[in-house]
């Protein structure tokens, strides 16, 4: 599979793709062979340990094949890592807290999404944390499958406060991508912390989300890696 990725400001257009699933009269998708997509364990799918992460179970286009988050850090990209034009998204703690771009893929499906490390200031900025949404016609809210913040989002916590982290890419969430254009939305963590959400991901000290530190977070388009789920 060859995946082309383009990040740029603009609108997104979703596209649908054929699959081995059929749409029933009740609007639910089921495999063409008549088997139960939820699996034999529970009505909602295979048994999962939800002690550490919440799972978004609303409006699945198709059930994913995975039941737990992938490794948080990888050393090399085992999925698609195409070369793209130099493109960067950046968000700050107080201003420019959200930026958007476009991901264009050839094949519809679930993907574990990785990027090169988003934090780069070491102990100079302690809360370079962020979260992402990938929006399309099938998943207009763009929420990830796994969540570690209020059941909605996957916070990518500042990784380099205590030195250079291992590996080369950090997990930013598992998302449904439609063939064609998908909107990538990058958000800074500090505004939701200041609103009272998900304090467990905040580093206390002199460079908090309440300080005047910019706590800048950077997304590199040419560091993107999509691992099919």
Percent residues over pLDDT 70 in the chain:
72
> What does the pLDDT average to over 99-104?
91
Instruction: Specify whether the CB–CB gap between 218 and 90 falls below 8 A.
Output: yes
Instruction: Give the range among 1-10, 93-102, 187-196 with minimum mean pLDDT.
Output: 1-10
Q: What is the pLDDT of residues 138-156, one digit of tens each?
A: 999 999 999 999 999 999 9
Structure confidence at residue 74 as a pLDDT band (50, 70, 90): very high
Q: How far apart are CA 165 and CA 73, in angstroms?
A: 9
18 has pLDDT over 50: no
177 has pLDDT over 90: yes
Q: How far apart are CA 106 and CA 174, in angstroms?
A: 17
Structure confidence at residue 88 as a pLDDT band (50, 70, 90): confident
Structure confidence at residue 229 as a pLDDT band (50, 70, 90): confident
pLDDT at 21: 34
> What does the pLDDT average to over 99-119?
90
Q: What is the pLDDT of residues 30-55, one digit of tens each?
A: 344 444 433 333 333 333 233 457 77
Mean pLDDT of the chain: 77
Strand 73-74 vs strand 29-31: parallel, antiparallel, or unpaired? unpaired
The CB-based long-range contact list for 59-62 (8 Å cut-off, 24+ gap) reads 59/138, 59/139, 60/176, 61/29, 61/108, 61/138, 61/139, 61/176, 62/19, 62/21, 62/29, 62/37, 62/109, 62/110
Q: Say which residue, 58 or 187, is predicted with more confidence.
A: 187
Report residue 89 CA to chain centroid gap. 14
pLDDT at 57: 60
């Amino acid at each position: 599979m060859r995946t082309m990725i383009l990040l740029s400001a603009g609108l997104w257009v979703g596209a649908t793709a054929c699959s081995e699933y059929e749409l029933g009269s009740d609007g639910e998708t089921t495999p063409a062979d008549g088997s139960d997509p939820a699996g034999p364990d529970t009505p909602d799918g295979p048994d999962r340990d939800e002690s550490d992460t919440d799972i978004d179970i609303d409006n699945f286009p198709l059930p994913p094949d995975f039941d737990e988050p992938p490794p948080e850090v990888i050393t090399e990209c085992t999925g698609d890592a195409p070369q793209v034009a130099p493109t960067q998204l950046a968000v700050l703690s107080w201003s420019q807290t959200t930026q958007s771009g476009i991901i264009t893929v050839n094949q519809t499906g679930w993907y574990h999404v990785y990027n090169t490390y988003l934090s780069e200031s070491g102990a100079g900025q302690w809360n370079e944390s962020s979260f992402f949404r990938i929006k399309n016609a099938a998943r207009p809210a763009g929420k990830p499958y796994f969540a570690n913040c209020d059941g909605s989002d996957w916070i990518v916590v500042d990784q380099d406060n205590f030195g250079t982290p291992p590996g080369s890419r950090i997990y930013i969430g598992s998302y449904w991508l439609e063939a064609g254009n998908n909107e990538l939305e990058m958000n800074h963590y500090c505004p939701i912390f200041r609103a009272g959400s998900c304090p467990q991901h905040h580093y206390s000290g002199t460079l908090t989300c309440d300080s005047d530190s910019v706590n800048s977070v950077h997304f590199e388009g040419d560091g993107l890696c999509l691992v099919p789920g």
